[in-house]
């Protein structure tokens, strides 16, 4: 069975968006993964299709109602569905390459896109939603965040990206940031390709790249070195 993603959102027309382009889009067309988007308002019970209400205890904004969201989740992921249930949320655990690999090896994911002030805590607990963040900032909703998550995951599915070796040396795959890349022309605005890269000595090239990765990681993301 191919990886199957199901999005619960107030804006299903946003999908597939960028997920339908380039190698991800070809993978979608070739059946290497599947994508569905469900309109949350379809599960509202009033004629205005209301999905939110004011925060208990006061405060600005609106909160997605637990009963409406629970019905949507149960409809797209009935009992026994093995896919993890994810909620895109700025307070969630940061998305990592490790988590992306774990998801890529699984059956897919149910992804809830939050809006307004967030989601009633009771449905998060009752439906065991795993909160995931793509960074320390706040977006207007979870749709773009879900696309980021899916792009990170889907490109890891065998057959989607192509050459395995092109992934193995990417940032975060080995605990380091990726080394600098160069291509022709040999000279660009007075800047030359480092001579070692055109030397033909693959051993020296590999050592140079590793040294560059270490230096970049130390300068920009020393936290990664502490984790390794």
In a domain, 163, yes or no: no
In a domain, 160, yes or no: no
The whole-model pTM stands at 0.91
SS3 letters across the chain: CCEEEEEEECCHHHCCHHHHCHHHHHHHHCCCEEEEEEEHHHHCCCCCCCCEECCCCCCCCCEECHHHHHHHHHHHCCCCCCCCEEEEEEEEEECCHHHHHHHHCCCEEEEEECECCCECHHHHHHCCCEEEECCCCCCCECHHHHHHHHHHHHCCCCCCCCCCHHHHCCCCCCCCCCCCCCCCCCEECCEECCHHHHCCCHHHHHHHHHHHHHHHHHHHCHHHHHHC
Residue-wise pLDDT for 110-147, tens only, equals: 999 999 889 999 999 999 999 999 999 999 999 999 99
The domain in which residue 183 lies consists of 169-227
Residue-wise pLDDT for 202-227, tens only, equals: 999 999 999 999 999 999 999 999 88
CATH code, domain carrying 75: 3.40.1280.10
54 and 123 inside one domain: yes
């Amino acid at each position: 069975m191919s990886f199957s993603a199901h999005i619960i959102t107030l804006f299903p027309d946003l999908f597939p968006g960028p997920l339908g382009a380039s190698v991800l889009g070809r993978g979608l067309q070739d059946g290497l993964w599947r994508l569905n988007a469900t309109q949350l308002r379809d599960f509202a019970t009033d004629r205005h299709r209301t999905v939110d209400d004011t925060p208990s205890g006061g405060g600005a904004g609106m909160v997605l109602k637990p009963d409406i969201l629970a019905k949507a989740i149960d409809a797209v992921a009935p009992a026994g569905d093995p896919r993890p249930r994810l909620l895109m949320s700025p307070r969630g655990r940061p998305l990592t390459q490790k988590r992306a690999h774990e998801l890529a090896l699984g059956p897919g994911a149910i992804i809830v896109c939050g809006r307004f002030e967030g989601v009633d805590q009771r449905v998060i607990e009752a439906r065991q939603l795993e909160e995931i963040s793509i960074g320390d900032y706040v977006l207007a909703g979870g749709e773009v965040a879900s696309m980021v998550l899916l792009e990170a995951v889907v490109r890891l599915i065998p057959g989607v990206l192509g050459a395995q070796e092109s992934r193995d040396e990417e940032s975060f795959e080995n605990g380091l940031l990726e080394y600098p890349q160069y291509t022709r022309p040999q000279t660009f605005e007075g800047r030359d390709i480092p001579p070692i890269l055109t030397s033909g000595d693959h051993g020296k090239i590999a050592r140079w790249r590793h040294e560059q990765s270490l230096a970049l990681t130390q300068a920009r993301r020393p936290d990664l070195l502490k984790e390794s």
